[in-house]
Amino acid sequence: MAIVKMNEFSLFAFDSVKEDLLHELQKFEYVHFTNLGVDETLSELGLKNVRVPESLMEIDDDINNVSYAISVLSKFHIKPKGIKAMQEGVKTYTFNELEEQALSIEYKEILGEVDTLWKRMESLKLEKEKAKARLSELKPWKSLDVSISEINGFSKAEIFTGTVPKKLKERFSEEMTGFENTYYEVVEEDKDNLYVVAMSYGEEVEKALDSLRNTSFSKVIIQGEEKPAQEMEKNNKRIEELNSQMGDVEKSIREMTPEIPRLELVYDYLSNKKLRTAAAENFLSTENVDVIKGYIPTDKADEFENNIRDRLQNIYYMEMKEAERDSDDTPILLKNSNFAKAFESLTGMYSMPKYSEVDPTPLLAPFYLAFFGMMAADVGYGLIMLIGTLFVLNKFNLKENTRLFVKFFYYLSFSVIVWGFLYGSLFGGIIPLPGLFEPAEDYNTLLILSIIFGLIHIYFALAIKAYVLIHNGKVKDALFDVGLWYLALTGAIVYLLNIVVTLPEIVKTISLVVMIVGMVGIVLTGGRDAEGLGGKIGGGIYSLYGMSGYVGDFVSYSRLMALGLAGGFIAGAVNMMAGMVAGSGVLGFIGAIIIFIFGQTFNLGLTLLGAYVHAIRLIFVEFFGKFYEGGGKRFSGFRSKPKYINLK
């Protein structure tokens, strides 16, 4: 499995059939358009950008309105939750089924009803908030036993209603004492303010007003006609009426919630329609003819051409050729086995390969599987992963990307189980298992094994680099950049083994010679692209300095041993704590169960997260760093990614 081979096409068709053509191409799906608007050469020939139809704005408005209606109805929709929701999942449609069903839905009528109901609901809410605010304003004055109209209707006396800061209460009493024609009353007080009514007439009005000002009096105008308590009762009744009306509207909205799946279909249909309409931005045109360029998978070239011929009835002109291997514009589409496909997310997380490279996914998958298992090694943890992922895959209706992610951990579970048996670990040794290794004692053996895995991993990466170079016709580069490094590294490793293992003298001599030959070759060829003799030698010496990087790479694989031991020791510590309290009667036994479940669950999450991240690090840095450049463009199929359904 590898990168899908691509054909590049140039198509000339009449502008009048553009819409039908785009519809046919979207049904075909496997088309990646080239944006010709950035090609200055074509622009100089008099070709102009195709004008995007005004209908695109209408489609955008429809999408926004449908999304708005879905969000409104979803607020009142009782959705199945938890396992039941995942079991139901999302429905799968073909492109034709999506179009047929979406076009049969009178969605604009639904949108109009939802909009009317929601506006009515918002209006009622606003009126209710105003009524509640009115209640809040009247509350401090509810004990005032006089109608508001009377307060505001005195002609011979001046009445003041307002607030005075509570901290000025004593000062207020002093200021308002001694008046003959002025009356005041504190009708309510809270933690901050005194709510005051003052009445004055004659010559004392101005003096009374000055006294009020001296106490930071803030005037409040009470709105209404009747007594505050009666006005509050009227507002409470109005709030009850509004609640009833809101309940009726809410009932009407709830009755429309079955329309949500239909609106979701419309949303995904309109998203594809928008993509189809906007695709014309990639084209150039003369007065009557559109120029379209793009890429299609080579194995679909015949189907593509047949579709074009049938739709345009031979009234078109098209050229097609194999995509250039060294072109950075060729889009990348990966095709892998079911097993390797689950690991494509790792490749995409780093970068898509260039068209001239190899797809690293099937190459990294076995190593990632082994590394993850070695770092998470525990039979119990692996069984939980296996049972959990199997249950999800068989019982839940998942989106494709989610299903691949679950499959990813399904495959990893086997490696975790196998390494768990090798380590003799079941939930950190809760049940003794015979293992090939005893991690607490054989850590040196595990360290050596980790370094050996690293050696194999790096040598394999160099072999891939050699293959790519040879495949691209760069045989000498493969010899200089891979062959010489094989000599230098192998010679150095075997020579250094003499420190810990006694080897025959001839082996020592041969390894020394091989190492020197490799190093000298690296110095002589490492800077071959530099200008001048000094630059070539300097570049060669700098290349040889890369030997230190390999030392760091080999050491980096020690994490395979370290994380495996760490997870096992934490699991063992949890078991020890549970065992310490288990003998303290019934409560101790219950406590032990809680400690075991909580501790092992925590360690499971920590172990899987650590294995996931550190295995990625070994792939991205130590493995990809030797042969993989990346930076390719992902193939953009002529379909919008569905939001609510699966589209096949």
Q: Are residues 372 and 344 in the same domain?
A: yes
What are the C-alpha distances in Å from 187 to residues 33, 83, 132, 230? 77, 58, 21, 16
Does residue 513 form part of some domain? yes
User: Could you give the CA distance from residue 290 to residue 279 in angstroms, rounded to a whole number?
Assistant: 12
Alpha-carbon radius of gyration of the chain: 39
Q: What is the pLDDT of residue 154?
A: 65
Output the six-digit token pair for 124.
């009622």
Largest CA distance in the chain: 126
Output the six-digit token pair for 248.
């009726």
Q: Are residues 375 and 411 in the same domain?
A: yes
Does residue 535 form part of some domain? yes
What are the C-alpha distances in Å from 574 to residues 382, 580, 602, 606, 634? 18, 10, 10, 14, 46
What's the CATH code of the domain at 162? 3.30.70.100
Q: Are residues 540 and 580 in the same domain?
A: no
Unique residue bearing structure tokens 């604009």? 108
Amino acid present at 411: Y
Number of domains in the chain: 4
User: Could you give the CA distance from residue 388 to residue 368 in angstroms, rounded to a whole number?
Assistant: 21
User: Could you give the CA distance from residue 69 to residue 260 in angstroms, rounded to a whole number?
Assistant: 8
Q: Are residues 400 and 475 in the same domain?
A: no
Phi (first) and psi of residue 157, to 5 degrees:
-125, 155
Q: What is the pLDDT of residue 443?
A: 85
* Mean of pLDDT values over 63-90: 82
Q: Are residues 545 and 567 in the same domain?
A: no
* Mean of pLDDT values over 396-409: 90
Question: Dihedral of CA 160/166/167/173: which sign?
Answer: positive
Does residue 72 form part of some domain? no
- Using H for helix, E for strand and C for coil, what is the string for 556-609? HCCHHHHHHHHHHHHHHHHHHHHHHHHCCHHHHHHHHHHHHHHHHHHHHHHHHH
3-state secondary structure of 258: helix
Please, where are the H alpha helices in 323-431? 338-341, 344-350, 361-376, 379-395, 400-423
User: Could you give the CA distance from residue 217 to residue 209 in angstroms, rounded to a whole number?
Assistant: 9
Q: What is the pLDDT of residue 83?
A: 67
Lowest-confidence pick of 150-154, 423-427, 608-612? 150-154
What band does 31 get if pLDDT is binned at 50, 70 and 90? very high
User: Could you give the CA distance from residue 126 to residue 119 in angstroms, rounded to a whole number?
Assistant: 10
Does residue 385 form part of some domain? yes
What band does 187 get if pLDDT is binned at 50, 70 and 90? confident
Helices and strands: H and E segment counts in the chain: 26, 16
Output the six-digit token pair for 186.
């504190």
Whether 445 and 374 have beta carbons less than 8 Å apart is answered as no
- Using H for helix, E for strand and C for coil, what is the string for 104-165? CCCHHHHHHHHHHHHHHHHHHHHHHHHHHHHHHHHHHHCCCCCCHHHHCCCCCEEEEEEEEE
Unique residue bearing structure tokens 């062959």? 483
User: Could you give the CA distance from residue 615 to residue 325 in angstroms, rounded to a whole number?
Assistant: 31
Q: What is the pLDDT of residue 36?
A: 83
What band does 344 get if pLDDT is binned at 50, 70 and 90? very high
Average pLDDT of the chain, as a whole number: 88
Q: What is the pLDDT of residues 128-162, one digit of tens each?
A: 999 998 888 888 888 888 787 877 666 667 888 88
Q: Are residues 343 and 425 in the same domain?
A: yes
What's the CATH code of the domain at 22? 3.30.70
Last residue of a domain, one of 550, 585, 616: 550
User: Could you give the CA distance from residue 594 to residue 580 in angstroms, rounded to a whole number?
Assistant: 13
User: Is the pLDDT higher at 202 or at 315?
Assistant: 315
Q: Are residues 545 and 561 in the same domain?
A: no
The partner residues of 87 in beta bridges, in order of sequence, read none
What are the C-alpha distances in Å from 361 to residues 2, 3, 335, 400, 469? 8, 10, 10, 18, 18
Q: What is the pLDDT of residue 38?
A: 61
Q: Are residues 378 and 412 in the same domain?
A: yes
Q: What is the pLDDT of residue 41?
A: 63
Q: What is the pLDDT of residue 115?
A: 94
Last residue of a domain, one of 506, 525, 550: 550
Q: What is the pLDDT of residues 206-258, one digit of tens each?
A: 888 888 888 898 888 888 888 888 888 988 999 999 999 999 999 999 999 99
Residue 279 has pLDDT above 70, yes or no: yes
Please, where are the H alpha helices in 279-329? 301-312
What band does 177 get if pLDDT is binned at 50, 70 and 90? confident
Q: What is the pLDDT of residue 204?
A: 82
Q: What is the pLDDT of residues 461-491, one digit of tens each?
A: 999 999 989 988 889 989 999 999 999 999 9
Q: What is the pLDDT of residue 84?
A: 67
What are the C-alpha distances in Å from 90 to residues 79, 262, 396, 580? 13, 13, 10, 48
Q: What is the pLDDT of residues 42-52, one digit of tens each?
A: 665 667 777 77
Q: What is the pLDDT of residues 305-333, one digit of tens each?
A: 999 998 888 888 999 999 988 888 899 99
Unique residue bearing structure tokens 């041969």? 510
3-state secondary structure of 319: strand
Give the strands of the sheet with 157-165, arranged side by side.
Answer: 182-189, 193-201, 157-165, 218-219
Q: Which residues, including other chains, have CB under 8 Å from residue 261's CB and lie 6 or more apart?
A: 91
Of the CA atoms within 13 Å of residue 529, those in its CB half-sphere come to 6
Q: Are residues 217 and 293 in the same domain?
A: no
**Of residues 232, 212, 211, the one with CA closest to residue 223:** 232
3-state secondary structure of 447: helix
Q: Are residues 372 and 396 in the same domain?
A: yes
* Mean of pLDDT values over 171-193: 85
Domain that holds residue 566: 338-429+557-631
Last residue of a domain, one of 169, 192, 221: 221
Q: What is the pLDDT of residue 466?
A: 94
User: Could you give the CA distance from residue 409 to residue 372 in angstroms, rounded to a whole number?
Assistant: 10
3-state secondary structure of 491: helix
What band does 123 get if pLDDT is binned at 50, 70 and 90? very high
User: Could you give the CA distance from residue 633 to residue 369 in angstroms, rounded to a whole number?
Assistant: 27
Residue 368 has pLDDT above 80, yes or no: yes
Does residue 81 form part of some domain? no
Which of 53-62, 242-251, 519-528 reaches the highest mean pLDDT?
242-251
Q: What is the pLDDT of residue 483?
A: 92
Whether 529 and 546 have beta carbons less than 8 Å apart is answered as no
Q: Are residues 465 and 520 in the same domain?
A: yes
Does residue 122 form part of some domain? no
Q: How many CB atoms lie within 10 A of CB 602?
A: 12
Whether 484 and 518 have beta carbons less than 8 Å apart is answered as yes
* Mean of pLDDT values over 345-354: 93
Does residue 185 form part of some domain? yes
Residue 275 has pLDDT above 70, yes or no: yes
Q: What is the pLDDT of residue 81?
A: 67
Does residue 610 form part of some domain? yes
Q: Are residues 343 and 383 in the same domain?
A: yes
